[in-house]
Structure 1
Amino acid sequence: MLQHDTLFIGGDWVAPAGTDTIEVISPHSEEVVGRVPDGTAADMDRAVAAARDAFDNGPWPRMTMAERAAIVGRLAEIYEARQAEMAEIITAEMGSPITFSQLAQAPQPLGMLKYYAGLGATFAEEEERPGMFGPVVVRREPVGVVAAVVPWNVPQFVTMTKLAPALVAGCTVVLKPAPETPLDSYLLAEMITDAGIPAGVVNIVAAGREAGEHLISHPGVDKVAFTGSTAAGRRIASICGEQLKRCTLELGGKSAAIILDDCHLPGAMGFLSMASLMNNGQACVAQTRILASRNRYDEVVQAVAEMVTSQQVGDPADPATGIGPLVARRQQERVEGYIRAGIEEGAKPVVGGLDRPYDRGWYVAPTVFAGATNDMRIAREEIFGPVLTVIPYEDEADAVRIANDSDYGLSGSVWTADTDHGMDVARRVRTGTYGVNMMHTLDPNTPFGGFKASGLGRELGPEGLSAYLETKSIARLG
């Protein structure tokens, strides 16, 4: 069992203000696999004070961006050497299949560190433009102290969408991991120390909702970067709005995969097994609405059902496992509630249903619904589990209409033999990311974020770095 009794604040391992602890429970065995302090408002105050001092008085914001990028590059080298360890910790604490952890949970954060280290080495912090009365220098400066609040499903991935650009920009950070997945952040703190990042630049306090809201509303925080539910995002947006505090919000999704009639189904299913079921269905970008024309509806339902049943359900530490348990009992019960709602509304589970695969562990049966319509709860609300809904459409215009008929707009895909035509469809679907004959892979070089209730702002790419920079214009005569 991994046990920690301190918090990472001001470059040191310090005793928490309170005595409560967070127990990390294996979703597979339901046994305790870790224990860490439960951060309090007082701990958040101390972390913000350390970040504030590091920003106002420390060397980090006063280095050049290239100098900071070089240190982030060192962090990337250390991270690369320990990424296997990171993958194992994430699988243990939240049940991600080890193959997915080795493919994405650890390597993708590493890719972000490398990308931003490279971008920061060449990024222009200042440029001169002609002005009405003489030259104007446009300067980009770090936004300040950042509160980074991350969820449990892809904890390191989401951490790095915030931490990597914030560090290169010159910000200081208070990171609040989710209480379900605090263990990976302790390994990250060790790497930060080894990389030589100055004290107070990164502070890490795992805590629950109350302490998290205290952090978000803290007057010493200049920007909030949050990934999580749309409901929580609305609350955070209201706090930031009242304080005129900068924020980026990456929220929920209910993405649609459009299967056009010329699609080669076996090839599409090979990709959709990842796009729809990755991380046990606990992914905001998951393609959980499968749109099929009435001409091929039964054929698509059968193909999706076969794709789902081909996935081995079981111990996430087993490399043969394709779908593991959900993160917590409450999540298991929530997903089963949606399966029950789908049945009550008239959809038919052609695979799965309410029978649990195992008596122990927070498993649900991977489920495929047929006979569904886009107005059902299973088609409109983010389930965050291995539940897919196959919805019929009349023609291509109807498919695009159904895809856009959602409160969300985070991701999506189209599957067709004609890639150019697929690009035309992609341009008509209102989402922040999209794939043609593939799932958008969240490339570090390209912006990630959503339309509508899927959030505000963009992460990754140069756009993700700009989110941590303020722009200043300096005019001069002579």
Structure 2
Amino acid sequence: MGMGVAKCRQTRSIPWSCFMTAPRIRSRIAGEWLEHGHVHEIRNPADTAETVATAVFAEPSEADRAVWNARSAFDLWRRMPLMQRSHILFSASRRIGERSQSIARSISREQGKVLPEAMGEVQRASDIFAYFAGEVLRMHGEHYPSTRVNTEIEVVREPVGVVLAITPWNFPVAIPATKMAAALAYGNSVILKPSEVTPISTSLLVEAIVDAGVPESVLTLLIGGGQLGGELARHPGVDAISFTGSMETGRSIRRAAAETDAELQLELGGKNAWIVLDDADPALAARIAAESAFLGTGQRCTASSMVLVTPGIRGAFLDHLREEVARFTTGDPLDPEVRIGPLVSAAQRDKVETYLQQARAVGYRMTTGPAPRSSRAGYFVVPHLFESVEQEDPLATDEIFGPVLATIDVPNLDAALMIANRSPYGLSGGICTQSLDAVQKFKREIEAGIVTVNLPTAGSEPHVPFGGIKQSSHGPRELSGHAASFFTRTRTIYISSVPA
């Protein structure tokens, strides 16, 4: 990972005490650390006076070398015996788990996620690698009879080649793990370009995977900004691109891939509605709504920043919801009394503050969480609840990516579905009700790839597919056996037992 601390490099698992000297994070191609490039400071979003690390950005010109190196390593990895590849991925899962404290603390310090959530993210990454270690051995083909005499047909799956994974800052370990584990399991070589905002935890993840036995040339780490990502996305040697991030960047990648015919898998966000009907338990509904909106400081693509509530439960629900907001303390993510940390950056804080200023100007009834439990200068925004928001207000239409929740009054489920489905996004949606009829109607009519009932809208599990519809996603699903649809391609083989 290129920490630049000789003493720390003597151990495989790097203790957090080694990070007190502001480590130097570098890219790696074929085991070589890249020393030259623009040096970028990584600041602690909970204490902006603290430099957590420095990152050396790879020059965009390194993209070409990285791609052809990955291309040369592809044959080695794809032909490795399946059991050996499976054992390596199981080892990666174990090593991620063994290093969970260091990796999780790095997430908290560079991204601002509270430590329990960061630990959960690292565990999720470990679980994903364990799942795909098994998936290596579940690879299968198909056999068909032919309409021709003395002829058989085989359909086989093969790796696509060089996979470019471009990942965001909000889940700097779990999302890279999602893409890398699947790509590696199916025999591809991988170039990972993580967010330049959160390179420390991603670098620790990559180090665990390489230490597990993935050949250094098979997994390349390139740290840098948008120009580097653009060079990689446009490179003709890249066979497939898996991207999670903003709609704007996703469109740029789609245009780049159109020039090279690279396969595309895009996860681009959501504006996720949560519906509360009259027969719901108001206390349960309030707890789920608050967790869906505020955990992760609202910086989750599956977060619900909009609750559609029917009139019979509105009063009791809002009473409980205001109480829930008051329980969400903000502050240092390593403080065990804190439930949400800071936003990731000044730019993200300013974006959220713009929405808050507009909402205050309208005059909606507002409830806020307690003042931050920190005297340090950080990108803190306390939870905000706005009630009876208009349907066309930006709070009801835009993906805010912050601890902001708007309630919208609706007369019934039909009206709630109409509002929820107006969004160009279609990632997740949820409902709280005791009515089986309402659940069935919601399941049929909500335009979302992930549907929850009496549960928060966030979260995923490795053995089931993840992804949305409409503008939220493009291409095959992530996770589960469905990932093979993206990370492999099929060939159809006709075999005659009699020469033609």
- TM-score of the pair, normalised by structure 1: 0.94
> Residue 296 of structure 1: CA displacement?
2.6
Which residue of the partner structure matches residue 379 of structure 2?
Answer: 362
- Greater mean deviation of Cα atoms: 273-282 or 416-425: 416-425
Residues in 2 aligned to 1:84 and 1:67: alpha-carbon distance in whole angstroms = 28
Residues in 2 aligned to 1:357 and 1:197: alpha-carbon distance in whole angstroms = 42
Quick one: which of 127, 147, 165 aligns to 1:132? 147
Which residue of the partner structure matches residue 107 of structure 1?
Answer: 123
Q: 1:356 to 1:97 in 2, by over 3 A?
A: closer
Check conservation: 2:144, 2:152, Cα contact below 8 A. Answer: yes
Q: 1:348 to 1:65 in 2, by over 3 A?
A: farther
Which residue of the partner structure matches residue 122 of structure 1?
Answer: 138
SS of equivalent residue, structure 2 residue 406: strand
Which residue of the partner structure matches residue 15 of structure 1?
Answer: 34
Q: 1:115 to 1:420 in 2, by over 3 A?
A: farther
Check conservation: 1:21, 1:37, Cα contact below 8 A. Answer: yes
One-letter identity of the residue aligned with 1:28: A
Residues in 2 aligned to 1:355 and 1:9: alpha-carbon distance in whole angstroms = 42
> Residue 389 of structure 1: CA displacement?
0.5
- Could you report, residue by residue, the CA deviation over 1:65-118 in whole angstroms, capped at 9, with x for unpaired residues? 444222111111111111122111101111001111122x21111111111111
- Could you report, residue by residue, the CA deviation over 1:244-295 in whole angstroms, capped at 9, with x for unpaired residues? 2101001111101100111102123333333221211100000111110123
- Could you report, residue by residue, the CA deviation over 1:326-353 in whole angstroms, capped at 9, with x for unpaired residues? 0001111000001112233453323369
In the alignment, does 2:20 pair up with 1:3? Answer: no
> Residue 359 of structure 1: CA displacement?
6.7
SS of equivalent residue, structure 1 residue 283: coil
In the alignment, does 2:491 pair up with 1:472? Answer: yes
SS of equivalent residue, structure 1 residue 295: helix
Quick one: which of 54, 60, 65 aligns to 1:35? 54
Residues in 2 aligned to 1:371 and 1:315: alpha-carbon distance in whole angstroms = 32
Check conservation: 1:289, 1:379, Cα contact below 8 A. Answer: yes
Residues in 2 aligned to 1:285 and 1:53: alpha-carbon distance in whole angstroms = 38
Residues in 1 aligned to 2:424 and 2:464: alpha-carbon distance in whole angstroms = 24
- Greater mean deviation of Cα atoms: 313-322 or 290-299: 290-299
Check conservation: 2:329, 2:371, Cα contact below 8 A. Answer: no
**Same amino acid, percent of matched pairs:** 33
Which residue of the partner structure matches residue 150 of structure 1?
Answer: 167
> Residue 43 of structure 1: CA displacement?
2.3
In the alignment, does 2:237 pair up with 1:217? Answer: no
In the alignment, does 2:390 pair up with 1:373? Answer: yes
Residues in 1 aligned to 2:209 and 2:391: alpha-carbon distance in whole angstroms = 46
Q: 1:241 to 1:224 in 2, by over 3 A?
A: same
In the alignment, does 2:51 pair up with 1:46? Answer: no
Residues in 2 aligned to 1:155 and 1:428: alpha-carbon distance in whole angstroms = 33
Quick one: which of 21, 24, 27 aligns to 2:42? 24
Q: 1:272 to 1:370 in 2, by over 3 A?
A: closer
SS of equivalent residue, structure 2 residue 214: coil
Quick one: which of 466, 471, 482 aligns to 1:448? 466
Residues in 2 aligned to 1:36 and 1:174: alpha-carbon distance in whole angstroms = 18
One-letter identity of the residue aligned with 1:116: F
Residues in 1 aligned to 2:312 and 2:122: alpha-carbon distance in whole angstroms = 42
> Residue 382 of structure 1: CA displacement?
0.6
Which residue of the partner structure matches residue 88 of structure 1?
Answer: 105
Map of 1:325-474 to 2, 5 A cutoff? 325-351=342-368, 360-419=377-436, 421-440=438-457, 441-457=459-475, 458-474=477-493
> Residue 146 of structure 1: CA displacement?
0.8
SS of equivalent residue, structure 1 residue 54: helix
Check conservation: 2:275, 2:309, Cα contact below 8 A. Answer: yes
> Residue 222 of structure 1: CA displacement?
0.7
Alignment root-mean-square deviation, CA: 2.0
Which residue of the partner structure matches residue 165 of structure 1?
Answer: 182
> Residue 183 of structure 1: CA displacement?
0.3
> Residue 228 of structure 1: CA displacement?
0.3
Check conservation: 2:210, 2:219, Cα contact below 8 A. Answer: no
One-letter identity of the residue aligned with 1:9: I
In the alignment, does 2:289 pair up with 1:272? Answer: yes
Residues in 1 aligned to 2:480 and 2:445: alpha-carbon distance in whole angstroms = 23
Residues in 1 aligned to 2:175 and 2:33: alpha-carbon distance in whole angstroms = 25
Residues in 2 aligned to 1:353 and 1:233: alpha-carbon distance in whole angstroms = 36
One-letter identity of the residue aligned with 2:275: I
One-letter identity of the residue aligned with 1:7: S
- TM-score of the pair, normalised by structure 2: 0.90
> Residue 241 of structure 1: CA displacement?
2.1
Residues in 2 aligned to 1:83 and 1:359: alpha-carbon distance in whole angstroms = 27
Unaligned runs of 5+ in 1: none
In the alignment, does 2:267 pair up with 1:247? Answer: no
Unaligned runs of 5+ in 2: 1-19
Residues in 2 aligned to 1:3 and 1:91: alpha-carbon distance in whole angstroms = 16
- Greater mean deviation of Cα atoms: 126-135 or 450-459: 126-135
* Matched pairs, number: 472
Residues in 2 aligned to 1:66 and 1:246: alpha-carbon distance in whole angstroms = 28
Check conservation: 2:330, 2:372, Cα contact below 8 A. Answer: no
